[in-house]
Amino acid sequence: MRRHRSAALLVQTRLPVVLALTVFTIVLALPFAMAVLWSLVDPSHPWAYPAVLPPVLSFRRWIEIWTTSALPQALANSYLLAATVSVSTLLLALPTAYAFGRLQFPGKATAQMLTLIPLAMPGFVGAIFFSALLVRFGVYSRFAGIALGHTVIFLPYAIRLLSLSFAMVRQDLIDAARDLGASPLTVFRTATLPVLKPGLLAALIIVFILSIEEFAISYIVGAPDFTTVPTILYSYLGYNFIRPNAAAISLILVVPNVLLMLIAERLLKSADPATITGKG
Amino acid sequence: MSASFSVRPYLLLLPGLLPILAFMSLVIGMALSQSVGYFNFSGDSGFSLRFWHTVLSEQQFWRAFWYSARIALFSSLLSVALAYPVALWLRRPFAGSDLVSALIKAPILVHGLVAAFLYVNFISFQGFLNAALVHLGLVARPIRMQNDPYAIGVVILQVWKNMPFAFLILTGPVRAIGDDILDAARDLGAGAFARLRRVILPLTLRSLQAALILIFIGAAGDYSFQSVAGPTSLNSLAQYMVRIQQDNAGHGWNEAAVIAVMLMGLSLFGSAALAALIQFLLRRTGR
Amino acid sequence: MLKTIAMLALATALPLAGLPAPAAAKDLSQMNWEEIVAEAKQEGQINWFHWYFQDRFREQVKAFEAQYGIKVTIPDGDGKANMDKMLAERGRTEGDIDVISLGGSALQTFKAEDLLYGPLKPLLPDGAKLRFSIEGTDNKGYAPAFWGNQTAIAYNPARISEKELPHTLEDFAAFFRTNPGEMGFNTENGGSGPAFIEAVTRALVKDIDYANGAATPEKVAKLAPAWDWFKANHDGYIITASNADSVTRINSGEFKLIAGWEDQIAGLQRKGEISRDIKMYIPSFGMPGGGNVIAIPANAKHKAAALVLIHWLTSANTQTELAKTFGIAPQHPDADSSVGLIAAGDRKFSTVWAAKPFGDDIKKAFVNQVTLH
């Protein structure tokens, strides 16, 4: 009876795991494997009908893309934009997040709702009419235009993440530090900052990734010559479609972001109040 | 002293809230005023409803409108429908559950355009799927699946990208449902479906609605999935808007503005109606 | 979309537009070629807005960079967006574009003297030998041709034999009936599909002057028989996403026929990206061919360097090189002609593109009447 039950339990828990892994393989691992394979197709040996597998594999394409495509410039644009955007977004979000996380005031719920408006705006509507505004105000710098657009549309994320961090700061720790005669700076350093830090870093990274991945504003405002990684990928998927090149650029867009996101997630987990108060 | 104290929170709100409100009202204001003939980039500016008239009497516009509405509806419902069983399954941790939930969340990290490319590459004539089908002897020649006319590819991509998102939103509330409530329901003889309908869905209604609304809005405004993997015989609303704006020199902006306003309307009212409908259905069956 | 922005910029800038360009022109026209080259080296860099094979051209211009020490930046951007940007920036005293590649008939949609610096013909050492009239458009010496190309039908010999190839409209209709979904052509992202659409339109609707670019609703309405033909043969063809998508898919064996550019397919074959087996022909009802020109916007920042790049690009040497690498028709009389993909006997079927903006309206009407219907 007991053995029977544990066998049933085993089937009940293991089977779904196996099933999940199978699904994962089909929807994620295989497509990525295909992309890797395509990106390794040697540029002078086409993979054409009726060949089932590529005739020659090499890293030549990666080198070629790096040296001849606009990818290095697009990467520089994307990362510089993302750095600018994440810092400016965070600076703007901090005071507001503090108010949401630590203060009570009439109209707070409404204000919180209002910060979420950008999430309800379809990306291309925002992008097109934002570009119309830039024309009206004579802003020719695409970098400034895109940075401004990104900062505003990613503010909701930063405000929300930081509000949660501020809310986690424990008032009794602040009071205790203050009672012990600590200066405001010391109070901030000992009671607030340790709790805030993981959230700050996570918000920084998440806004950074969102900015790198943003397509609508970068594409509409940046056209034709200010390219970011997503816009270059879009051109490689459209007018300049060469499948192996698109494969290589796809991989370049995904891998660094996955690594960054894993770090962000780790930071958010470490923001668990239990571990922090344990340290404090 | 006390007066300045009460002002402080509102001053703190300014740096975050003001840019958002200014940006959104300027952008929406621009779209609204261009749709009725103001801020013309060519010709005279002045109030006119002719752009509304032109766009709304265009058959293509309505095809795009209902197409986007359909995609948004299917994508949001399917994503949520798939996310619930998974969230319920992972409600209590077991060996391997961390791995599974990490894998489910993985698509969030993959850029939409990359996902679209991976998908098209996978189903293309030379893709793995066709190679496998031919190899297994299921078909004699590869099947053409790229840019399928029913937009199955677009819905698959939307669900692929959004199901993890719905899972993230639902997983907390689902975990918060107490075992005692579910046990009580089970003891009262409620089957799995009844438990879902009578207990789980009502208790997670807010998150369910949030997930539906967010996915609906995203899918209704889709451009990249549609342009890479969507049917070539149909435009999504965002795609139609960009095309109208680029193809028509003088009045393109104004007509695009009409489409933009309609798209915002679809996002707002469509998602709200969906959320309300779900609530209504649950209330009714819950009784 | 920038095109429309341009209208705004235009309104504010018109009074200014005339002034700076002639002043600068005087400067370069008073110099001899050595002085221009010296000035160009002084400027040291240029932005060349070009819309296809950008990665390959970045390779090609290395020879130029080595010879003159002038750095060439070729941004990624599609042709329409590049032109819209030029239009949008005409109000600035100095724009971002130093050199711009344009389709041969693009100058039908705007006046060269309003937007471009020049004429270049007297400034270029080989100016008298170069071609300034292409695709039925004489640009009056403002923009020399640097690229000759032809649209045609490409076929995959692994899937269809030469004997089975359709040559007349009736052949095509029969081919569509017996080979449903075996031909692909695009409507967006490139002109090869639109070339096929235009060719069919020309063959079916004969009482229209295709050399007249004026587009009226009545004229566009006359094209209806062509749309009926496409609708009747609807199951025969597949609309692809771009020039390149058609090529990728014929290479993978998905299609027997596609509409394509000779230079694009030859260029990809010579690089090894696609199978060298793919061949091309022009059906007897003809397909359009022409070429691209290169010009300097009136408000270019580095005009001397731009002029030197254009001289290098249109020179006999570079044209021979481009013919070898991309299979183009060279545009300098002293360049070696290439052996293209299309048999010499088919060349007589080459037609001139329909004049613009009417030519663009043919494609738009197809999209509205056939694909989105």
Does residue B3 lie in a domain region? Answer: no
Q: Output the pLDDT for position A277.
A: 39
Residue B211's contacts (CB-CB under 8 Å, 6 or more residues apart) are B76, B79, B80, B83, B165, B166, B169, B170
Q: Name the residue among A68, A46, A70 with its Cα closest to residue A56.
A: A46
Write the CB contacts of C299 (distance below 8 Å, at least 6 apart in sequence).
C20, C21, C89, C90, C92, C93, C94, C95
Q: Averaged over C133-150, what is the pLDDT?
A: 93
The shares of helix, strand and coil residues in chain A, as percent rounded to the nearest 5, are: 80, 0, 20
The verdict on a CB contact (< 8 Å) between B20 and A108 is no
pLDDT value at position A101?
Answer: 92
> What are the tens digits of pLDDT across the range A217-255?
999 999 888 999 999 999 888 888 888 989 998 998 888
Residues C130 and C274 in one domain: no
Same domain flag for C142 and C154: no
> How crowded is residue B129: how many other Cβ atoms within 10 Å of its Cβ?
19
- What was the pLDDT predicted at C184? 97
Strand partners, C238: C184
Residue pLDDT, tens place only, B157-192: 999 999 998 998 998 889 888 888 888 888 888 888
Q: Which range, of A18-32, B11-25, B215-229, C196-210, averages the lowest pLDDT?
A: A18-32
Distance of CA A137 to the CA centre of its chain: 30
Asked whether residue C78 is domain-assigned, the answer is yes
Chain B positions in Cβ-Cβ contact with residue C187 (cut-off 8 Å): 232
Q: Within 10 Å of residue A243's Cβ, how many Cβ atoms?
A: 26
Structural domains counted in chain A:
1
* Residue B162, in any domain of the structure: yes
Question: Is A14 within a domain?
Answer: no
Is residue B176, in this structure, part of any structural domain at all?
yes
B48-62 residue pLDDT tens: 899 999 999 988 899
Mean of the per-residue pLDDT values of chain C: 89
Query: Least CB-CB distance to B144: which of C181, C364, C371?
Result: C181
Question: Is the same domain home to C355 and C273?
Answer: yes
Looking at the partner chain, which of B147, B228, B249 has a beta carbon nearest the beta carbon of C3? B249
Distance from CA of A143 to the nearest CA of B (A): 17
Whether residue C136 has pLDDT greater than 90: no
- Owning domain of residue B186: 58-109+151-286
| Residue C313 pLDDT greater than 50, yes or no | yes
DSSP string, B92-105: S--TTHHHHHHHHH
Q: Is the pLDDT of residue B101 over 60?
A: yes
- The verdict on a CB contact (< 8 Å) between A239 and C78 is yes
* Cβ-Cβ contacts under 8 Å, B228 against chain C: 241
A107 lies in some domain: yes
Chain B interface, best mutation among A104, A124, A136, by max B CB count within 10 A: A124
Shared-domain flag, residues C213 and C256: yes
Residue A77 scores a pLDDT above 60: yes
Between A and C, how many CB-CB pairs are < 8 A?
A: 113
Joined together, the tokens standing for residue B47 give: 């109030």
Chain C residues with CB-CB distance to B232 below 8 A: 187, 239-241, 371
Whether B120 is in a domain gets the answer no
Taking contacts as CB-CB distances below 8 angstroms, the residues of chain B near A47 are: 126
* Helix axes of C243-251 and C262-271: crossing angle, nearest 10 degrees: 50
User: How much of chain C, in percent, has pLDDT values that exceed 90?
Assistant: 69
What's the total number of domains in chain C?
A: 2
- Residue C11: pLDDT above 60? no
Provide mean pLDDT across the span C109-131: 92
| Contact call for residues C270 and C327 (beta carbons, < 8 A) | yes
Residue A52 lies in a domain: no
Tens of pLDDT, residues A167-210: 988 888 888 888 888 888 888 888 888 888 888 988 998 899 89
Q: Could you give the C-alpha distances from A7 to A2, A22, B15, B94, B253, in angstroms and in order?
A: 9, 21, 59, 15, 66
The listed range with the strongest mean pLDDT (A55-59, A79-83, C343-347) is A79-83
Residue B279 lies in a domain: yes
Q: What distance in Å separates the CA atoms of residue B200 and residue B194, rounded to the nearest whole number?
A: 9
CB contact burial C156-182 (16+ within 10 A = b; e otherwise): beebbeeeebbbebeebeebbeebeeb
Q: DSSP letters along B154-185, please?
A: HHHHHHHHHHHHHHHHHHHHHHHS-HHHHHHH
The tally of CA atoms less than 13 A away on the side-chain side of residue C340 is 26
Between CA C204 and CA B230 the distance in angstroms is 31
- List Cβ neighbours of C159 (8 Å cut-off, separation of 6 or more): A49, C182, C253, C255, C256
Judgement on whether residues C199 and C257 belong to the same structural domain of the protein:
yes
Distance CA A240, CA A232 (A): 9
Q: Residue A163: which domain range?
A: 70-279
Q: What is the CATH number for A210?
A: 1.10.3720.10
Residue indicated by tokens 């494609």: C363
**Do the domain assignments include residue A25?**
no
CA C113: distance to chain centroid? 21
**Mean pLDDT in residue range C333-360:** 87
Quote the pLDDT of residue A5.
Answer: 59
Q: Do A250 and B114 touch (CB under 8 A)?
A: yes
Task: Locate C80 and state its tokens.
Answer: 């329409």
Return the pLDDT at C19.
43
Does one domain contain both C63 and C140?
A: yes
Give mean pLDDT, residues B212-238.
93
Q: Do residues C91 and C162 both lie within one domain? A: no
- Cβ atoms within 10 Å of C33's Cβ, excluding its own: 13
How many structural domains are present in chain B? 1
pLDDT at C21 over 60: no
**C-alpha closest to that of C116 among C291, C310, C290:** C310
pLDDT exceeds cutoff 60 at B244? yes
Q: How many degrees, rounded to 5, is the angle at CA B25 between CA A205 and CA B264?
A: 85
Whether B2 has a pLDDT exceeding 50, the answer reads no
Measure A24 CA to nearest chain C CA, in Å.
27
Alpha-carbon distance A110 to A100, whole Å? 11
Asked if C1 and B245 come within 8 Å (Cβ–Cβ), the reply is: yes
B3: pLDDT strictly greater than 50:
no
Same domain as C89, residue C64: yes
Rounded distance between C-alpha atoms, residue A83 and residue C74, angstroms: 25
Distance from CA of B54 to the nearest CA of A (A): 19
pLDDT of residue A1: 45
In a domain, B156, yes or no: yes
Q: Which residues of C touch A246 (CB under 8 A)?
A: none
Please indicate, yes or no, if residue A24 is contained in any of the structural domains: no
Kindly report the number of other CB atoms within 10 A of residue B9's CB atom. Answer: 21
Mean pLDDT of the region B141-156: 92
Do the Cβ atoms of A126 and A216 come closer than 8 Å? yes
How near does any CA of chain B get to the CA of A176, in Å?
23
Tell me: do C56 and C74 sit in the same domain: yes
Give the neighbours of chain B: at least 3 Cβ pairs within 8 Å: A, C
Give me the pLDDT at residue C155, please: 97
Closest Cα in chain C, distance from residue A87 (Å) = 28
User: Do C152 and C298 form a contact (C-beta atoms < 8 A)?
Assistant: no
- C-alpha B243/C-alpha B252 separation (Å) is 9
Q: Is the torsion defined by CA of C193, C194, C196, C201 positive or negative?
A: positive
Domain contains A224: yes
Amino acid in the structure at residue B245: Q
Residue A85, token pair as written in the block: 């955007």
Nearest CB partner across the interface for A49, out of C55, C242, C252:
C252
Q: Which residue has the tokens 């002045």?
A: B46
Residue C222 lies in a domain: yes
Same domain, C75 and C183: no
**Of A51-65, A79-93, A235-249, highest mean pLDDT:** A79-93
Cα–Cα distance, C94 to C98 (Å, whole number): 9
Contact A38, A247 (CB under 8 A): yes
B121 touches chain C (CB under 8 A): no
Q: Which helix (H) or strand (E) holds B135?
A: helix B128-135
Among C180, C245, A34, A241, smallest CA distance to B123 is for A34
Q: Which residue of B has its CA nearest to C109?
A: B249
Q: Is residue A133 situated within a structural domain?
A: yes
Does the pLDDT at position C230 exceed 80? Answer: yes
Question: CA–CA separation, C373 vs C368, rounded Å?
Answer: 6
Query: Does A42 fall in a domain?
Result: no
Which amino acid is it at C117? Y
- Give yes or no for residue C23 having a pLDDT over 50: no
Which are the contacts of A84, defined by CB distance < 8 A and separation ≥ 6?
A147
Preferred mutation among A56, A142, A241 to probe C, highest tally of C CBs within 10 A: A241
CA separation for the pair B264, B269 (Å, rounded): 8
- For residue A8, give every residue at least 6 positions away whose Cβ sits within 8 Å of its Cβ, in sequence order, or none: none
Whether B69 is covered by a domain: the verdict is yes
In the predicted structure, residue C283 carries a pLDDT above the cut 70 = yes
The chain A residue lying nearest C5, using CA atoms, is A135
C43 and C92 both lie in a single domain = yes
CATH number of domain containing B183: 1.10.3720.10
Q: What is the ipTM of this complex?
A: 0.87
Same domain, C173 and C285: yes
Q: Which tokens is C297 given?
A: 């916007």
Distance from C-alpha of B224 to C-alpha of A122, rounded to nearest angstrom:
12
- Find the closest chain A residue to C89 by CA distance: A140
How far are the Cα atoms of B121, B124, C81, C273, C281 from residue A241, in angstroms, in the given order?
12, 14, 17, 11, 23
pLDDT at residue B5, as a whole number: 56
Domain that residue C34 falls in:
2-148+291-326
Is C331 a member of any domain?
no
Residue B254 C-alpha, separation from nearest chain A C-alpha, in angstroms: 11
Q: C112 with C142: CB under 8 angstroms?
A: yes
Residue C283 sits in a domain whose CATH number is 3.40.190.10
Q: Is residue C202 part of a domain?
A: yes
DSSP C215: -
Q: Phi and psi at residue B196, in whole multiples of 5°? A: -60, -50
Side-chain half-sphere exposure of C307, counting CA atoms within 13 A: 35
Query: B160, B222 in Cβ contact below 8 A?
Result: no
Residue B116: inside a domain, yes or no?
no
Residue type, B90: L
